[in-house]
Structure 1
């Protein structure tokens, strides 16, 4: 009898050890280390914009695959309601700043961005945006200027940066400048391959890439086609060549513009386009378990509210309370390695602090 009991205890103990080892391998006890981070910013995207897209898509979005959800507080250093420059800077640099400022603190001093931290640590870095790359949100991850309106100066910051790639609009700020300087030649001198359409963007799978596909902004969706998801895929294909890891910032820029116009149809179209780009990032995180994807917003735009709808038909009824930005908290959807760190309610500047903690970088 004692032998049977001892054998049973041995079998139970062995099962427990195997379960713990299995749990460890599956990430239950020790989640995968963060190697790649993709930050995706839906400019102006609040909960109503997300649910409008979900309703129009008959009840589902790729975004629903996210494992953890948080909320961030978006006020700037000098206003209850932030603009994209201060909101972008808060996420990129972990610093509240004045509305209109790019990559600087309230006193105007440059503050190191997430992408600059990453590049200093040997990671590949990139920016993708469905607007001019020199526009407020993407600029906040690269440039350091007192005003978002200084787009020619911001273009110089792109040239002088340690970026591996950038894809978006804004070509005129590089080659049709008031100072007559051709920054495209400087980009080539710094090793960038230039691409002016998506066909050429897709051809570049190694090295450095400057993809400037529009003189100013890419067209609204659907006129621009699948530019955003295809650009995210192209960026990942290039950046993943770095065995150390990569960090990529993606902006669904024109959700904001649709909401400024109180255009319900355009808001939904831009939201669904952004969601297709999110799918590309989530799919890559499934392939590489060391990848963290963060989907958030710099602020909400339009005070959008859903007053009716039908999930079976995709009908959405919406009203807007403003033509400008609002002060409400915005969602933070997170997927992949380290996602649990982002549950809860916190300041927008804490997003960078959480990423640096996961990486072990010093701020």
Structure 2
């Protein structure tokens, strides 16, 4: 009988077990990537047709660099077709609410937004929008009000928040108020630089910034010029000073308005401007590992259907099913650290849940 070398057999067994264990650990690892910075861009009213109109007219968009694509279901707690308040609140807070509600649940209780969680965890935070900063979608990340039309009250919520910066329109809700309170004085007392034009905005590289460059809304594109991409670049320059990272939400607001008007040319213009802003976000992510960029919509507007077009001439032909919002799913594009988490089909509230998980935040 052949003699078995017991010590050698034990050593070989241990090696096999260790290799097997290491292999299995690699295969089943579910450790989430570390995300320090999130840039969330919301194209208000932006469905697949709005995106493809921009791709057609511009013969391509920066948006196409996105690494993963998913879809979100946009219905609200009160309606199969959401409005921007409920749609924005769902993305901001992970809570389905009634149409018209800002930062509250369907029973009217305040719900904390991802921006507020980010501030609590030491991150810098910002909001940029090509509409009044107190409008439904941007307000959903900062304010808590039962009705989106309470824009003076929403302005007070901005002042009382821990936000680092906000850039948009809506100056009159801070200064020309029914209660005669000058909220700009309160902002200055809290250490904010208050700016009313883009020259002042672009010269700001640190600290806290409250920039309101229009009494109500900035002009449509191209009349408003480089407002949106330049504002986002300034926001990133400021937020980048925080070693703990940041959360920035950007709204391309007027894709929605042009879709309400069934204006295909206006949609194309707004999409191209929004896409140039996306490039600013992608460029930042390329240079700063740990940055996640998510691009989505709160809902689709207009039931836009592309009935013809040309990549050679940039012509876009569209038919419209509505002058209001529709119920269709909207795309979710993602890029950078953790982007793979946004593939698939899910509820709009899961955008919040995924970001919270990637940040490592607990509710």
TM-score under structure 1 normalisation?
0.91
Say yes or no: does 1:264 pair with 2:302.
Answer: no
Q: Measure how far apart 1:203 and its partner are.
A: 1.1
Q: What is the match of residue 91 of structure 2?
A: 91
Deviations 1:162-187 (A, max 9, x none): 00000000000000000011000000
Q: Measure how far apart 1:80 and its partner are.
A: 0.2
Q: What is the match of residue 214 of structure 2?
A: 214
Give the 5 Å matches for 1:38-53.
38-53=39-54
- Residues of 2 paired with 1:196 and 1:281: CA distance? 24
Give the 5 Å matches for 1:234-245.
234-245=234-245
Runs of 4 or more above 2 Å deviation: 29-32
- Residues of 1 paired with 2:309 and 2:265: CA distance? 13
Q: What is the match of residue 82 of structure 1?
A: 82
Contact 1:32 1:289 in 2 (8 A): no
- Residues of 1 paired with 2:266 and 2:302: CA distance? 13
Q: Measure how far apart 1:313 and its partner are.
A: 1.5
Q: Measure how far apart 1:359 and its partner are.
A: 1.3
- Residues of 2 paired with 1:346 and 1:216: CA distance? 35
Contact 1:56 1:268 in 2 (8 A): yes
Contact 2:33 2:358 in 1 (8 A): no
* SS at 2:250 equivalent: strand
Q: Measure how far apart 1:360 and its partner are.
A: 1.3
Q: What is the match of residue 250 of structure 1?
A: 250
Equivalenced residues, count: 337
- Residues of 2 paired with 1:331 and 1:311: CA distance? 22
* SS at 1:262 equivalent: coil
Contact 1:31 1:337 in 2 (8 A): no
Deviations 1:75-98 (A, max 9, x none): 000000000000000000000000
Deviations 1:51-103 (A, max 9, x none): 00000012x10000000000000000000000000000000000000000000
* SS at 2:149 equivalent: coil
Contact 1:193 1:209 in 2 (8 A): yes
- Residues of 1 paired with 2:101 and 2:311: CA distance? 41
- Residues of 1 paired with 2:100 and 2:257: CA distance? 17
* SS at 1:157 equivalent: helix
| Structure 1 vs Structure 2 CA RMSD | 1.5
Q: What is the match of residue 181 of structure 1?
A: 181
Q: What is the match of residue 162 of structure 2?
A: 162
Contact 2:32 2:358 in 1 (8 A): no
* SS at 2:206 equivalent: coil
Contact 1:131 1:169 in 2 (8 A): yes
- Residues of 2 paired with 1:279 and 1:239: CA distance? 17
Give the 5 Å matches for 1:1-363.
33-58=34-59, 60-363=60-363
- Residues of 2 paired with 1:301 and 1:30: CA distance? 38
Deviations 1:163-216 (A, max 9, x none): 000000000000000001100000001110001001000111111000110010
Unaligned 5+ residue runs, structure 2?
Answer: 1-25
Q: Measure how far apart 1:32 and its partner are.
A: 5.1
TM-score under structure 2 normalisation?
0.91
Contact 2:45 2:297 in 1 (8 A): yes
Contact 1:119 1:125 in 2 (8 A): yes
- Residues of 1 paired with 2:105 and 2:31: CA distance? 37
**Residues 287 and 110 of structure 1: is their aligned pair in 2 closer, same or farther, counting only changes over 3 Å?**
same
Q: Measure how far apart 1:289 and its partner are.
A: 1.4
* SS at 1:98 equivalent: coil
* SS at 1:175 equivalent: coil
Q: What is the match of residue 5 of structure 1?
A: none
Q: Measure how far apart 1:231 and its partner are.
A: 0.5
Q: What is the match of residue 15 of structure 1?
A: none
- Residues of 1 paired with 2:96 and 2:142: CA distance? 16
Which structure would you say has the larger Rg? 2
- Residues of 1 paired with 2:201 and 2:111: CA distance? 31
Q: Measure how far apart 1:315 and its partner are.
A: 1.0
- Residues of 2 paired with 1:268 and 1:136: CA distance? 23
Deviations 1:263-290 (A, max 9, x none): 1110100010000000000000000011
